[in-house]
């Protein structure tokens, strides 16, 4: 008997991914861009608490490619609990360098004494376009002066910053390691002080009442990983200025097929808007321009 994961895989591989790729191509400049989907939220290597399907890099890349995803921004599960982030980022950079579909996004922990060195290596040695932060696992809040210092350095270096608001539902976390969702509220003040910062909130709950405040902050972006319902993605895009929502699956922790189905199943997005969601908005965030 097929389980839900099998059904989702068959459905999206056979139907949804094909339709999405076709529509994105029509919204693009030419047919050579048929595979233009960019997944801005995946992680490599093993989740510390259990094995996940697709936690082997080649298998994950093969799955993403089968779904029409041409590029994925990859953080590292090792970045949550390892203290030697220099080695974590080196392994991540090596894994992504040998796979053209992957773009490495390194981990930095501003609580560690050598965090500026880790950031410098991400920028100068590995040439990463951005960094990913895990404040709830690293023990700081977004009103911490060290976070503000990191945000400014990243902005001055023209690198984006991804903040993982959550990784795992608190109800399923190991009893000895509880990591509640990051409170993104102080981010409004931080980005006012660093107006050239480009920040993406990953795994942010779009039902949060904070969304209305965040909609007014330029250069603050979101992903689709925690959107629910058949019309959830169009509704989120309606509540935010154009260009602020990027496709993100949170694979392999979540099923990448499910994220694509949520994008497609409402049928409410026109070709141009769909192309922006799946690729164009990601390119504009990297370049520091607005749609």
Q: Answer yes or no: are the C-beta atoms of 42 and 249 closer than 8 Å.
A: yes
CA angle at 193 for the pair 188 and 194, rounded to the nearest 5°:
95
- For each of the domains in the chain, give its residue range(s) and CATH number, in order of start: 36-168+182-287 (3.20.20.140)
Unique residue bearing structure tokens 């070709």 = 271
- Each residue's pLDDT tens digit, 236-283: 999 999 999 999 999 999 999 999 998 987 788 999 999 999 999 999
Please, which residues have CB within 8 angstroms of residue 239's CB and are 6 or more apart in sequence? 206, 211, 212, 215
Percent of the chain surpassing pLDDT 90: 75
SS (H, E, C) 38-74: EEEEEEECCCCCCCCCCCCHHHHHHHHHHCCEEEEEE
Q: How confident is the model at residue 16 (pLDDT cuts 50, 70, 90)?
A: low
Phi-psi region of 229 (alpha: psi -120 to 50; beta: other; left: phi over 0): left
Higher local confidence (pLDDT), 124 or 169: 124
Q: Which two tokens stand for residue 157?
A: 């270096």
Coil, strand, or helix at residue 220? strand
């Amino acid at each position: 008997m097929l389980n839900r994961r099998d059904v989702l895989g068959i459905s999206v591989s056979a139907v949804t991914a094909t339709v999405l790729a076709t529509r994105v191509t029509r919204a693009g400049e030419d047919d050579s861009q048929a595979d233009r989907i960019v997944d801005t939220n995946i992680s490599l290597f093993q989740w510390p608490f259990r094995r996940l399907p697709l936690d082997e890099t080649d298998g994950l890349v093969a799955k993403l490619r089968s779904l029409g995803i041409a590029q994925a921004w990859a953080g590292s599960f090792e970045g949550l609990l390892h203290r030697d982030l220099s080695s974590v980022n080196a392994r991540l950079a090596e894994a992504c360098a040998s796979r053209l579909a992957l773009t490495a996004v390194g981990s930095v922990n501003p609580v560690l004494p050598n965090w500026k060195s880790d950031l410098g290596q991400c920028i100068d040695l590995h040439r990463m376009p951005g960094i990913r932060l895990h404040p709830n696992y690293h023990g700081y809040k977004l009103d911490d002066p060290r976070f503000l210092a990191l945000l400014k350095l990243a902005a001055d270096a023209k690198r984006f910053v991804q903040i993982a608001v959550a990784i795992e539902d608190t109800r399923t976390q190991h009893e000895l390691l509880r990591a509640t969702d990051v409170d993104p509220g102080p981010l409004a003040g931080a980005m006012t002080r660093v107006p050239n910062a480009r920040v993406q909130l990953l795994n942010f709950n779009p039902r949060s009442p904070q969304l209305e405040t965040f909609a007014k902050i330029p250069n603050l972006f979101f992903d689709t990983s925690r959107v629910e319902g058949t019309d959830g993605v169009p509704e989120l895009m309606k509540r935010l200025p154009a260009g602020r929502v990027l496709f993100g699956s949170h694979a392999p922790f979540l099923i990448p097929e499910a994220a694509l189905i949520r994008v497609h199943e409402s049928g409410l997005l026109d070709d141009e808007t769909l192309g922006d969601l799946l690729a164009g908005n990601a390119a504009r965030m990297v370049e520091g321009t607005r749609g």
